[in-house]
Amino acid sequence: ATPTALLVGTGRGAQLGILIKGPEVLESTRRIDTIVLDKTGTVTTGQMTLHDVVTGDGEDPDEVLRLVGAVEHASEHPIAQAIADAAARRTGDLPPVADFRALDGRGVRGTVEGRELHVGRAALLAESHELPADLRAAQRAAEEHGRTAVLAGWDGRVRAVLVVADAVKPTSAEAVRMFRDLGLAPVLLTGDNRDVARSVAAEVGIDEVISEVLPQDKVDVVRRLQGEGRTVAMVGDGVNDAAALAQADLGLAMGTGTDVAIEAGDLTLVRGDLRAAADAIRLSRRTFGTIK
């Protein structure tokens, strides 16, 4: 965090696992009525695992995984790491990738063994690839189960659907109840697909869901909510969340997240437990005597 980090209250903050940048931050907590939660890495563990590789006609799953793994190896996204790890485990050394590019939070591109691969969300692949009906069905089935479907293609056609999922943190549902008890409306915000987002939201008890938001647009969502007269706390962990954390009336960063998010936040939840966000808000409201 920041060198000027202080602990909330009289050692209570430390006990609760909360780091705060300065006492003035606490002032804002009394007006907060909305808490925006990033999905991946905040409500969920962010520890993705590859569950399945579904291929189209004539493609060998291990061979596709080897190529896709090579491209994802160059990406830092948790989904990419899960795919690259599984590929290395299943197929051995991964081939080198050329012309790698991350495509604004929707996926990646890279050339492996002369093939130009695109890997990422359906909307990204749809720009330049045809999606065969059986793979579209595999994508839908995965998303209906609350899993993320990662599409991989080359030469204008989607070749495989890689099914990836992470788990909701065991403490997230209780944290959401705590937010409601404090009078805060929880909102789930994610770049992920709508069905996946809804499934996670249902699991933790959130009904306001904003999904398929590009990384650079998360900040606009916070601004829009503020424009509706809401006072917004935002909890996030990723590079993607930094601008939104800074824009929020109160930005809370997961201590398990990226340095960029931690720097952008007003407050850090050291243990990455969402319940600490509710503790922090309750504690600082009490400190400011707003609970009568």
What is the contact surface with ligand ADP in residues (CB under 6 A)?
38-41, 72, 75, 77, 79-80, 105-108, 119-121, 148, 150, 190-192, 215, 238, 240
Measured distance CA(195)–CA(188) in Å, rounded: 12
Q: Which is nearer to ligand ADP, 17 or 105 (CB)?
A: 105
38 flagged as catalytic? yes
Measured distance CA(211)–CA(39) in Å, rounded: 9
Q: Which is nearer to ligand ADP, 106 or 275 (CB)?
A: 106
Q: Which is nearer to Mg ion, 17 or 46 (CB)?
A: 46
Measured distance CA(169)–CA(276) in Å, rounded: 13
Which candidate, 86, 127, 88, places its Cα nearest to that of 106? 127
Out of Mg ion, ligand ADP, none, what residue 257 binds, judged by CB under 5 to 8 A for its kind, is none
Q: Which is nearer to ligand ADP, 41 or 153 (CB)?
A: 41
Q: Which is nearer to Mg ion, 117 or 235 (CB)?
A: 235
Nearest distance from C-beta of residue 169 to ligand ADP, angstroms: 13
Nearest distance from C-beta of residue 104 to ligand ADP, angstroms: 9
Out of Mg ion, ligand ADP, none, what residue 75 binds, judged by CB under 5 to 8 A for its kind, is ligand ADP
CB 218 within 8 A of CB 235: no
Find all residues with CB under 8 Å of 137, minimum gap 6, and list them.
none
Find all residues with CB under 8 Å of 114, minimum gap 6, and list them.
none
Nearest distance from C-beta of residue 286 to ligand ADP, angstroms: 31
In sequence order, the β-bridge partners of residue 120 are: 107, 151
Choose, from 38, 166, 266, 273, the residue flagged as catalytic.
38
Measured distance CA(215)–CA(258) in Å, rounded: 14
Which candidate, 229, 232, 254, places its Cα nearest to that of 241? 254
Out of ligand ADP, Mg ion, none, what residue 119 binds, judged by CB under 5 to 8 A for its kind, is ligand ADP
Please, which of residues 32-61 interact with Mg ion by CB under 5 A?
A: 38, 40-41
Please, which of residues 220-239 interact with Mg ion by CB under 5 A?
A: 237-238
| CA torsion angle 171 197 258 181 (round to 10) | -40
- Residues engaged in binding Mg ion (CB under 5 A): 38, 40-41, 237-238
Active centre residues (catalytic): 38
